[in-house]
Amino acid sequence: MIHTQKVAISMPNILVKEIDALSKSKGLSRSRYIAQAVSEKIESEKNHFIRESYDKIFSDKEIQKEQLEMARCFEGTGNEGGQEW
């Protein structure tokens, strides 16, 4: 069971009208629609942060060189049927 908490926020009237129209067209309450929108935004921000972190790490020339050298070390060493442990 998801626990909920009430929050009071202020926003422009036009935004509330748009939220109400969209939530009604989707058969959701205003509260549920806003919660879903915020949840999607948070997930998007997390993914953006992860992508930026990977890009930062792998744009480092030394790390790129190390990764290429490591890939070359493993080329041709694999077992076509998979690795046996």
Residue 26 lies in a domain: yes
The answer to whether the predicted template modeling score (pTM) of the entire model surpasses 0.85 is: no
Residue 4 lies in a domain: no
Range of the domain at 59: 13-74
On the question of pLDDT at 18 being above 90, the answer is yes
**DSSP 3-state assignment of 82?**
coil
Q: Are 30 and 19 in contact (CB under 8 A)?
A: yes
On the question of pLDDT at 78 being above 70, the answer is no
Residue 28 lies in a domain: yes
Region 19-23: what's the mean pLDDT?
Answer: 97
Select the more confidently predicted residue: 55 or 84. 55
- Measured at the alpha carbon of residue 31, what is the angle toward residues 28 and 37, in degrees to the nearest 5? 80
Q: What total number of domains does the chain contain?
A: 1
